[in-house]
Amino acid sequence: MPDKDDEGRWAEALAALHRGPTAARRRLLRRQRMAVAALSAAIAVALLVPLLLVDRGPDRVRDAVPDWRRSVSLALLIAGMLLIVVGTVRLLREFRGRWTSPLTPLTMRQNKHLVAMVRRTTPADPALVPLARYMADTILRRVPIGWLLGGNSLIWVALGVLEPSSWRLLFPVVLVPVWLGAIQAVRRNERDARRFLYEHPADA
């Protein structure tokens, strides 16, 4: 805790951890909730745009598509949509938790410090262990970006199966490595979080 501003923010976060957010912060969080809802709607629309491309081709092209390709494309579309819906629901639940999170007074640098404690790349400050435990629990509840990336990839693959083209296959080729990398990062973070919670039990 290098300066008075940091000390004040740490103290506010620790107090919020025990008593919950103040009335002023709840009003601020309500305004943020509306902004997040609008942003989530925009993201959902952007993710659903590929679905609008399914019926854009001429009738003669659609009629020439074999039945098996239509069936595979439909199955991939449904699977992609399910991933996006589940990921979006979990994302909204995560944001709902952040609206009342005691970590909201902290700066990005302070949040990184807590993450470093969880990862054991910096010594655990006993005074900050309760906040680091909350950060570890947040990491375990965090929504993997792979849900949305995977769903979007499946949708573009479905479109490529229905009407093959190089530009449609380019999106999943780019997204799949990002998806796999995100999954590996999430698993690593979850292992670190579980280890921290085990090494620093709440009743210690």
Band (pLDDT 50/70/90 cuts) for residue 178 is confident
Can you give the pLDDT at residue 60? 46
Q: Does residue 185 lie in a domain region? A: yes
Task: Compute the average pLDDT of residues 151-155.
Answer: 80
The whole-number pLDDT of residue 117 equals: 95
Which range has highest mean pLDDT (1-5, 82-86, 111-115, 148-152)? 111-115
Residue 7 above 80 pLDDT? yes
Tell me the mean pLDDT in the region 60-86.
78
To the nearest 10 degrees (0 to 180), the angle between helices 108-119 and 4-19 is 70
Buried-exposed string 2-41: b where 16+ CB fall within 10 A, e elsewhere: eeeeeeebbebbbebeeeebeeebeeebeeeeeebeeeee
The answer to whether position 31 is within a domain reads yes
Q: What is the pLDDT of residue 1?
A: 43
Question: Coil, strand or helix: which one is 55?
Answer: coil
- Please indicate whether residue 90 or residue 143 has the higher confidence score (pLDDT): 90
Give residue 89's pLDDT: 74
Domain span at residue 22 reads 4-199
Tell me, yes or no, whether 204 lies in a domain: no
Highest mean pLDDT out of 60-64, 78-82, 96-100, 152-156 = 78-82
More confident residue, 97 or 78: 78
Residue 77 lies in a domain: yes
42 in any annotated domain? yes
Least confident piece of the model among 52-56, 172-176, 194-198 = 52-56
Number of domains in the chain: 1
The H or E element spanning position 167 is helix 166-199
Residue 59 within a domain:
yes
Task: Provide the strand spans (E) within 112-197.
Answer: none
Is the entire prediction scored with pTM above 0.75? no
In a domain? residue 123: yes
Residue 190 counted as domain residue = yes
Q: Are 119 and 159 in contact (CB under 8 A)?
A: no
